[in-house]
Amino acid sequence: MRRWHGLDDVPADWGRSVVTIGVFDGVHRGHQRLVDRTAELARELGSPAVVITFDPHPDEVVRPGTHPPLLCTPKRRAEILGELGADAVMVLPFTLELSRMGPDEFVQSVLVDRLHAVRVVVGEDFRFGHKAKGDVALLQELGGKYDFEAEGVPLVADGRPISSTLVREHLAEGDVEGATRLLGRPHRVEGIVVRGAQRGRDLGFPTANLESLPHTAIPRDGVYAGYLNCAGYAELQGDRSAGHPDARWPAAISIGVNPTFEGGERTVEAYALDRDDLDLYGAHVGVDFTARLRDTLKFDTVEALIEQMRRDVDRARELTRE
């Protein structure tokens, strides 16, 4: 799959393509329907399927200070889109200049002049151009002008129409099972493993302490079951003959400020079940959340905390047994 950052990365000889457009934060089931339809049309027409997404999030540019918590990194977003059938993903830098483009100018400069769109697939609530003046009807009208067809795909609903906002609401409530249902996979928080207070190791449960990216959507404080993922783990351990295989371990995950120890900084920590031999400092890892176990609690004694952690680990082991 090709990855482009901005219009100038598109090859000069790029032919006609089938295009879908959106922020695609999280690539939830509604987004997946758009990409599926785009890939289907691309196969029928013998053209590549191109996904246009944006970075930073348009809200932060149009209304500074309102950046929503992000459900996945731009890199992860592109990987998922590729797995769904995109032949190329273009991350279009969202700037004030871009936000001020009129609908016609956006269509001509992006869809026509660069990507030579033959079909354009969007959600039925799609808006574009300065002050969101463009909608599906206008896109179809401009398609007639510039020789492409456009279609609006009905939204996917799960009680309410599935949206990135709805996924964030589930995560803010600690409902990671609901988020999984909307995303079609567990929600993942990515980050670099850094040295923390190392209390987990002292208590018998060594954890990977994540330093996540700004604006990451982190579930509500609590204890969860899930998985700890490390891409290229074998190479990290010095095994260059293993072909960079990834590692994935069942995990118990804690989010919060460690109230038993009067902690002040909110952390995301993952304990790979029954593994005390992992050295992940400096590694880029992803933590997948599959089930919520309990709220964060303050214990009167360290012994009481350890006993509860043992119960949490046992429960996480049951829920992640494959």
Give residue-wise pLDDT tens across range 202-230. Answer: 666 889 999 998 899 999 999 999 999 99
Nearest-5° Cα angle at 250, 298 to 305:
20
CA–CA gap between residue 141 and residue 56 (Å, rounded): 29
| Average pLDDT of the segment spanning 149-157 | 96
CA–CA gap between residue 20 and residue 292 (Å, rounded): 35
CA–CA gap between residue 275 and residue 273 (Å, rounded): 5
| Average pLDDT of the segment spanning 185-206 | 81
Place of tokens 């769109």: 117
pTM here? 0.91
Q: Give the chain's mean pLDDT.
A: 91
Q: How far is CA 110 from CA 20, 33, 114, 128, 144, in A?
A: 12, 22, 6, 12, 16
What is the identity of the amino acid at 296? T
CA–CA gap between residue 218 and residue 189 (Å, rounded): 7
CA–CA gap between residue 118 and residue 45 (Å, rounded): 9
Beta-bridge partner residues of 188: 288
pLDDT at res. 67: 86
At 121-136, the pLDDT tens digits run: 999 999 999 988 999 9
Tell how far CA 250 is from the center of its chain. Answer: 20
Per-residue pLDDT band at 197 (split at 50, 70, 90):
low
CA–CA gap between residue 9 and residue 88 (Å, rounded): 11
Contact present, 288 and 226 (Cβ < 8 Å): yes
Helices (H), 55-190: 58-62, 74-83, 96-99, 103-106, 136-146, 164-172, 176-183
